[in-house]
Each structure stands twice: as C-alpha cells, then as structure tokens.
Amino acid sequence: MPASAPAYSADSISEADFRYIRAIIAEQAGIQLSEQKRSMVHSRLAKRVRSLGLPSIAAYCDQVRNYPERELTGLISALTTNVTAFFREPHHFAFLAERIMPELLERNAASRRLRIWSAGCSSGEEPYSIAMTVIEAMPASQSWDFKLLATDLDQEVLAFGREGVYRGDRLDGIAPEQRRRWFRRAAARSVDRALVVETLREHVSFLPLNLMGQWPMKGPFDVIFCRNVIIYFDQPRKARLIRRFSDLLTEGGHLIIGHSESLHGLTDRFRPIGKTIYRRGAAEC
Ligand SMILES: C[S@@+](CC[C@H](N)C(=O)[O-])C[C@H]1O[C@@H](n2cnc3c(N)ncnc32)[C@H](O)[C@@H]1O
C-alpha cells in the first residue's frame, strides 16, 4: 500500500456505531435494520469506507454525524438494495395492459392525460417497462399526454436510469419485438449496450425523492407502482406512506406493490383486486 493511502481497518463495527447507524437509517429513510443485519451493515459500510478513502468505520460514522447533508444519501444507498429487472413480476404488466389501460383510456378520454408514478424506481427498468406497456396499449391514432414520474433516493441509480443504457443481458426479459422497437445499440460503446429510444425516454422523468420526506408533487396519479420498497419500512411508516399514496391517487386509481409485500392491516382506503394490486376506494358490496 502506498505510504500516503489511509490504512483501512477491517475492524468489526462497534456496538455504539451499529446503534447509531440503525437509528439514523430508521429516522431518515424509514428502514429497519435488525440485529441480524449486523454483518451486512459491516460489509456494506466497509465498502463505502474504502471508496471514500477513510481509515475505519468509526471515522465514517463521525463523518455522517458531522456532515449528514453530505453523506446521508451515500449511507442509505450503501444499505439498500437496488435489485430490479425489466418486466419483473410480469403479471403486473399484463394487468396494466389488459385491465387498467382499457379503463383509463375510457375514463380519461376527455383529457387524454395519464400520470403514473414509479416510486423507488431504482435504475429505470421498472419505469421503462411501464412506459412500454402504456404506449403499446394506446391507440396509435391518438395523441395522449402521458408522463411517468420515476423517483428514488439513490442518485446513482437515478443517473443510470436517466442515461438509459443497459447491458445486453439486462434485456433478457423483454420480447424481441419490444427490443427492436424500444432500444438502439448504444453508439460509441461496446456492442453489448442498448440505449432506450428517445420516444420512450421523453415520457419518463427521473427525480430524487425520499419517500419518508416532503413530496413536491401534487398529483393526481392514475397508477402508482411502489414495488419491493415498503418491505424495508416499519408498520407505522408503511401505513403513513400508503395514506400519502392514496391522497395522491385518483378515485379508483391503482397501487401496485411487490411480491412479498401486503397492505393487510395497514389501510382501509384500498381494496385488493389482483395479486399485490390494489384499487383506491371502499370495498364494493
Ligand atoms: C429493491 S429496489 C426496487 C426497484 C423496483 N421498484 C423493482 O421492484 O424492481 C428498492 C429501491 O427502493 C429505494 N428506496 C429505499 N428506501 C427508499 C426511500 N425511503 N425513499 C425512496 N426510495 C427508497 C432504493 O434506493 C432502491 O432503489
């Protein structure tokens, strides 16, 4: 190691620092880290410590304490998972195409306006899959004002999504005709990179947003996707988030969550209408 490089100590995380990290991540991002997550926290923070060139996890925790505005999103990003894929949980996209879109095309026929939010969008695969599905379900002869808001608290994944360049093997879940329609070979890159076409990207806005913080948008949205995100949150925070989603949805609007998530016991504002698919409004008698 060069003499000038800070020595990295792979010491385990101290009890006090682990407690501090758990508290700050719960307070700022609503994320619950159990005692069992200690080694995961240690290894993820060790990686972050190395990339910042700091000498130890203790020094890193001091940095978070002293300059939270600088490192908080880095910390949250380090401790959350960004796993995602095009057309992940394909039944949601089938439902969107076959059930939600026909209804919205009728209901919003006068305004020809469609608003969808992908909350916790990670690197863009989810919002682009939604956008492909929506545009393909629209009558080609009509022009609609369709906008998709894609938010995440992790700036790195947002930048990736905004750029819209994916490794070829990331496109495996996409049907060949959709690949031809919605992707181009990324110029000046290796042949194995595909760029989302502008006619799809222009519908999607990637913006930073902590779901636990203030929301600048007023809505209303026709559909909200928040998949594989609430799994991190405790019950009171989940309930509050679902209430806020309901406030921003149109009456009869849809909320779609991840495969291991449920709204059971969290709200009376939604009723289940499909596998992890909910509709805003009271239960039908
Ligand atoms: C597992 S990924 C899910 C991606 C996509 N929704 C899917 O299902 O494929 C979870 C995402 O939620 C984001 N996330 C976690 N806590 C968040 C919070 N408090 N506010 C906004 N995004 C958050 C993470 O940064 C991550 O990108």
Domain CATH for 176: 3.40.50.150
Residue 3: per-residue pLDDT: 43
Shared-domain flag, residues 25 and 65: yes
Residue 185: per-residue pLDDT: 87
- Is residue 4 one of the residues assigned to a domain? no
Last residue of a domain, one of 23, 55, 79: 79
Rg (CA), the chain: 21
Q: Is residue 254 within 8 Å of 97, Cβ to Cβ?
A: no
Q: Across all residues in the chain, what is the average pLDDT?
A: 91
Q: Is residue 266 within 8 Å of 234, Cβ to Cβ?
A: no
232-245 mean pLDDT: 93
Distance (Å) from CA 84 to ligand 1 centroid: 9
Cα–Cα distance measured from residue 148 to residue 71, given in angstroms and rounded to the nearest whole number:
29
Any idea which of 25-29, 167-171, 216-220, 235-239 has the lowest mean pLDDT?
A: 25-29
Residue 282: per-residue pLDDT: 65
pTM for this prediction: 0.91
Residue 173: per-residue pLDDT: 84
Measured from the CB, is residue 63 less than 6 Å from ligand 1? no
Cα–Cα distance measured from residue 225 to residue 277, given in angstroms and rounded to the nearest whole number:
9
pLDDT at 210 over 50: yes
- Is residue 3 one of the residues assigned to a domain? no
Ligand 1 atom 14, closest CA: 120
Residue 107: per-residue pLDDT: 96
Please give the residue that has the higher pLDDT: either 5 or 151: 151
Specify the CATH number for the domain of residue 56.
1.10.155.10
Confidence of residue 5 (pLDDT cuts 50, 70, 90): very low
Distance (Å) from CA 232 to ligand 1 centroid: 9
With the most atoms of ligand 1 within 8 angstroms of its CB, the residue from 153, 207, 226, 233 to mutate is: 153
216-245 mean pLDDT: 94
Q: Amino acid letter at 170?
A: R
Any idea which of 1-15, 83-97, 99-113, 139-153 has the lowest mean pLDDT?
A: 1-15
Residue 8: per-residue pLDDT: 42
Ligand 1 atom 3, closest CA: 228
- Is residue 8 one of the residues assigned to a domain? no
13-31 mean pLDDT: 90
Sorted by sequence, the CB contacts under 8 Å of residue 145 that are 6+ apart come out as 111, 112, 113, 114
Domain coverage including residue 214: 90-280
Q: Which atom of ligand 1 is nearest to the CA of 118?
A: 6
- Is residue 6 one of the residues assigned to a domain? no
Shared-domain flag, residues 29 and 164: no
Distance (Å) from CA 141 to ligand 1 centroid: 36
Measured from the CB, is residue 124 less than 6 Å from ligand 1? no
Shared-domain flag, residues 74 and 186: no
What is the number of domains present in the chain?
2
Catalytic positions are 44, 152
Measured from the CB, is residue 230 less than 6 Å from ligand 1? no
- Is residue 10 one of the residues assigned to a domain? no
206-222 mean pLDDT: 94
Please give the residue that has the higher pLDDT: either 70 or 105: 105
Measured from the CB, is residue 152 less than 6 Å from ligand 1? yes
pLDDT at 203 over 90: yes
Residue 159: per-residue pLDDT: 95
Q: What is the pLDDT of residues 164-176, one digit of tens each?
A: 999 999 999 899 9
- Is residue 250 one of the residues assigned to a domain? yes
Question: Helices (DSSP H) in 155-280: which residue ranges?
Answer: 155-163, 176-182, 198-201, 235-248
pLDDT at 2 over 80: no
Residue 11: per-residue pLDDT: 58
67-81 mean pLDDT: 86
Residue 6: per-residue pLDDT: 42
Shared-domain flag, residues 61 and 161: no
Distance (Å) from CA 119 to ligand 1 centroid: 7
Distance (Å) from CA 268 to ligand 1 centroid: 24
Shared-domain flag, residues 94 and 27: no
Please give the residue that has the higher pLDDT: either 5 or 262: 262
- In 42-175, the DSSP E strands lie at 113-119, 145-152, 165-167
Measured from the CB, is residue 210 less than 6 Å from ligand 1? yes
Residue 7: per-residue pLDDT: 41
Sorted by sequence, the CB contacts under 8 Å of residue 22 that are 6+ apart come out as 33, 41
The DSSP result for 145-182, as a single string, is EEEEEEEES-HHHHHHHHHTEEEGGGGTTS-HHHHHHH
